[in-house]
Amino acid sequence: MSEDRILHPGLRARLMSAEQAAALIQPGETVAMSGFTGSGYPKAVPQALAAHIDRAHARGEDFRINLLTGASTAPELDGALAQVDGLAMRMPFQSDPNARKRINAGKLDYLDIHLSHVAQHVWFGFYNAIDTAVVEVSAILEDGSLVPTTSVGNNKTWLDLAKKVVIEVNRWQLPEMLGMHDIYYGTALPPERKPIPMVRGDERIGQTTLRCDPAKVAAVVLTDAPDRNSPFNPIDDDSRRIAGHLIEFLKHEVARGRLPANLLPLQSGVGNIPNAVLAGLADSGFRGLEAYTEVIQDGMLDLLQSGVLRYASCTGFALSPDANEEFRRNLDFYRSRIILRTQEISNHPEMVRRLGCIGMNGMIEADLYGNINSTHVMGSSIMNGIGGSGDFARNGFLSAFLSNSTAKGGSISSIVPMVSHVDHTEHDVAVIVTEQGLADLRGLSPKQRARQVIAHCAHPDYRDALQDYFERACRDSYGKHTPHLLPEALSWHQRWLDTGTMKA
């Protein structure tokens, strides 16, 4: 059964079970795996490794690994390894409930890294050397090169740098995807770096397969298992309003001559609200849009189908099961319209700045002065991570942050006097959008921003309290550039911890 998928005889000879492959990974190793938002992650070896670790723990042995990936993965990877307490360190992004629980219990060290930084930091030697890479592919070609699957992430770097490599060949993945990937081998360490030779987001600058020295391949494992992404929520009225405000703003920018009629390449974070924005764009009248982003989610397939979106460049898919079926059924259509790149290129500051990407990302909370918290609940508890939002917010044309104005049944205001953690500073935020409206912060001083945020983004239940804080801060603050009352600045968060609501 392996003959059509493993064309390299030497590598076919390394076929073994997931259990045998997992046994090659030793306690304390730094293991780099494929996977980016529930696509292209190894489906069998991580679970076999988790079982292996579980048995070791039952014998009283210490067995944990450091785990690197592209971004978040799925229950079969992060979930399984976190469940058995098999992780000592995790980076650069996660969204698994089990892993999150352990991180927030102080039992798992998590490094939350800009996605464009990961590959280069590993090349720079800032982290431990990579002992083992575990990478999913759809096929191994005769020359040993690897056909990528539904995400590329950091796989190029993992395969280049790992001491030993475990390859999962997943028969569920379509070998017909060959040709959709663009793996750029022109990166280098400074001082040997050259310009990235790309001026349009739909250009191809690399090759279609991943290189891997067959001598490093310690195991090849056959799997046949689907990617697993959660379905998106049905689009609700508030998400529709958020999308409406942002799209109205973009049309206004076109009318003012600040954006071309087909905008600039869109980056869209993963989540229900960014997905609602994509849905909103379908009926917006825009044509010929471009996406230079990390992840393709459901809404983008529809936009490609309707011709609203001309192409999408990404590093991975986050498709619901239904959208995944649609993609697989119409692969020929999508093949010419989707490019999967390494995440160092999909998120590269050079490309983001050159293309002038429009960043649209979710947030946990914003404060009066336009600082954004994307990662921490109540200042101390991680949600997921910063992902690529910083790559786009700092270096793109425009950065928009989106959220409902309240959370947890209205007990939390997403607009607070001071954010409890900062992921995007006041220097990096152009636009904040809630279902209440849109605050355009460009060209405004801190106090001017506060007035916009209160008027346009805050929920009516919290608007008066924010206005009251702001007025008293303007009167009593030590400095009046960014007025704050320090004993109160974080009191809304503490009140929620104490009473279950931010309301006074």
Residues 207-246 that bind a copy of itself (CB under 8 A): none
Q: Which of 376, 413, 417, 437 contacts a copy of itself by CB under 8 A?
A: 376
Q: Does 395 bind a copy of itself (CB under 8 A)?
A: yes
Map residue 27 onto helix, strand or coil: coil
> Looking at beta carbons only, is 166 or 266 nearer to a copy of itself?
266
Residue 412's φ and ψ, nearest 5 degrees, are -120, 130
Q: Which residues are annotated as a binding site for CoA?
A: 364, 384, 388, 408
Q: Does 104 bind a copy of itself (CB under 8 A)?
A: yes
Task: State how far the Cα of 34 lies from the Cα of 136, in Å rounded to an integer.
Answer: 6
Q: Which of 421, 453, 462, 465 contacts a copy of itself by CB under 8 A?
A: 421
| Cα 70-73-79 angle, rounded to 5 deg | 135
The separation between CA 385 and the C-alpha centre of its own chain, rounded to angstroms, equals: 8
Please, what sign has the CA dihedral across residues 226, 230, 234, 236? negative
CA-to-CA separations, 84 to 21, 30, 42, 207, 384, in angstroms, rounded: 18, 17, 18, 38, 20
Task: State how far the Cα of 501 lies from the Cα of 6, in Å rounded to an integer.
Answer: 57
Residues 122-141 that bind a copy of itself (CB under 8 A): 124-128
Q: Does 478 bind a copy of itself (CB under 8 A)?
A: yes
> Looking at beta carbons only, is 49 or 489 nearer to a copy of itself?
489
Q: Which of 394, 404, 405, 450 contacts a copy of itself by CB under 8 A?
A: 394
Task: State how far the Cα of 264 lies from the Cα of 262, in Å rounded to an integer.
Answer: 7
Q: Does 467 bind a copy of itself (CB under 8 A)?
A: no
User: How near is the Cβ of 127 to a copy of itself at its closest, in Å?
Assistant: 5
Residue 294 annotated among the catalytic residues of the structure = yes
User: How near is the Cβ of 110 to a copy of itself at its closest, in Å?
Assistant: 6
- Which span sits near a copy of itself by CB under 8 A: 57-65, 165-173, 254-262, 267-275? 254-262
Q: Which of 89, 161, 174, 205 contacts a copy of itself by CB under 8 A?
A: 89
Q: Which of 55, 200, 329, 408 contacts a copy of itself by CB under 8 A?
A: 200
Within 8 A by CB and 6+ apart from 97, the residues are 79
User: How near is the Cβ of 20 to a copy of itself at its closest, in Å?
Assistant: 31
Rounded (10°) CA dihedral 346, 350, 354, 359 = 50
Say which of 294, 344, 365, 435 is annotated catalytic: 294
Per-residue contact track with a copy of itself, 300 to 339, x per CB under 8 A?
A: ----------------------------------------
Residue 321's φ and ψ, nearest 5 degrees, are -55, -40
Q: Does 154 bind a copy of itself (CB under 8 A)?
A: no
- Which span sits near a copy of itself by CB under 8 A: 217-225, 304-312, 380-388, 459-467? 380-388
319-327: long-range pairs with CB below 8 Å, 24+ = 319/39, 319/227, 319/229, 320/229, 320/230, 320/231, 320/232, 321/226, 321/229, 321/231, 322/231, 322/298, 323/297, 323/298, 324/226, 324/227, 324/229, 326/301, 327/301
> Looking at beta carbons only, is 27 or 125 nearer to a copy of itself?
125
Catalytic sites, residue numbers: 294
